[in-house]
Amino acid sequence: MVGIRRAISLLLLSLFFWNFVLTALLGPDELFACFTGLSIVYGLAFVGIAAEWFWARWFAIGLGNFGALSLLTLLQTGLEPTIAVFGASHLIISLFLAGEGMASRYEHSESTAERWNFQEESLVLLRRAVKSAGMSLPLLILYTLAPKPELLHLVALVAGVTGVAGLLRGRTWGLAGMGLAGGIALADGFGLFGAPTVSYLLLTPSGSVVLWGSAFALLAGSMLAAPLAFARPIARFLRG
């Protein structure tokens, strides 16, 4: 069953990759960069799962959690089929990639143990941080690039993307970048820089169903979860 669950997850990731590629090409010009960025994130998750990179399962689960958040909007809109399919498909990704059997092909594989030799505590912390990165990175892209970004948005985007890249490479400075991006997004969402940024998520290339609002800024603040996961060991290190 692990192989079947993995195959279905790959199929869904590829479908959303192409959905966002088409949205970038066919949607409004001002949203081209945003949906190109989203397609890159889904493409990265697809390649990582297919290549069995040790962190890819966590990242894809986080990505699934991002999409599953859309199900909460059904409480306000009622049963909207497009939103339901989008959210349920992402929830399937998260559920199908969960479990020890799946983990044995990624973070618990022999190749990962031989190359990285993680201690259990480090593995738990890294798992939490990468899942958080997988969920918050698409939210950060939507917050900063939909609609046209200002300088503050670009600072947050560069800090967040650089931070996630550093985290996946095992660099502690990646946490600082993610913390900066999350802090900017959270401050914007609370109106500390003026009116909160309003962002848009087109669920179809035609834009027939759109999720929008200032909540994307607050949700992008979840990028702070990664550095917070490491707060205790960092504090221990600083105390010597």
Residue 240 has pLDDT above 80, yes or no: no
Tell me the mean pLDDT in the region 173-194.
92
Q: Is residue 120 part of a domain?
A: yes
pLDDT digits (tens, 9 = 90+) for 108-164: 888 877 777 777 777 888 899 999 999 999 999 999 998 778 899 999 999 999 999
**DSSP for 45-73, written as a single string:** HHHHHHHT-TTHHHHHHHHHHHHHGGGGG
Residue 191 has pLDDT above 80, yes or no: yes
Q: Is residue 239 part of a domain?
A: no
Q: Is residue 238 part of a domain?
A: no
pLDDT digits (tens, 9 = 90+) for 46-78: 999 999 999 999 999 999 999 999 998 888 877
Tell me if 169 sits within 8 A of 177, measured CB to CB. Answer: no
Q: Is residue 126 part of a domain?
A: yes
The phi, psi pair for 167, rounded to 5°, reads: -60, -45
The phi, psi pair for 55, rounded to 5°, reads: -90, -10
The phi, psi pair for 15, rounded to 5°, reads: -65, -45
**Structural domain boundaries enclosing 96:** 2-233
pLDDT tier at 170 (50, 70, 90 boundaries)? confident
Q: Is residue 240 part of a domain?
A: no
In the chain, pLDDT over 70 holds for what percent of residues?
97
pLDDT digits (tens, 9 = 90+) for 32-41: 999 999 999 9
Number of domains in the chain: 1
Q: Is residue 107 part of a domain?
A: yes
> What three-state secondary structure class fits 168?
helix
Give the E-state strand segments of the chain in sequence order. 199-202, 210-213
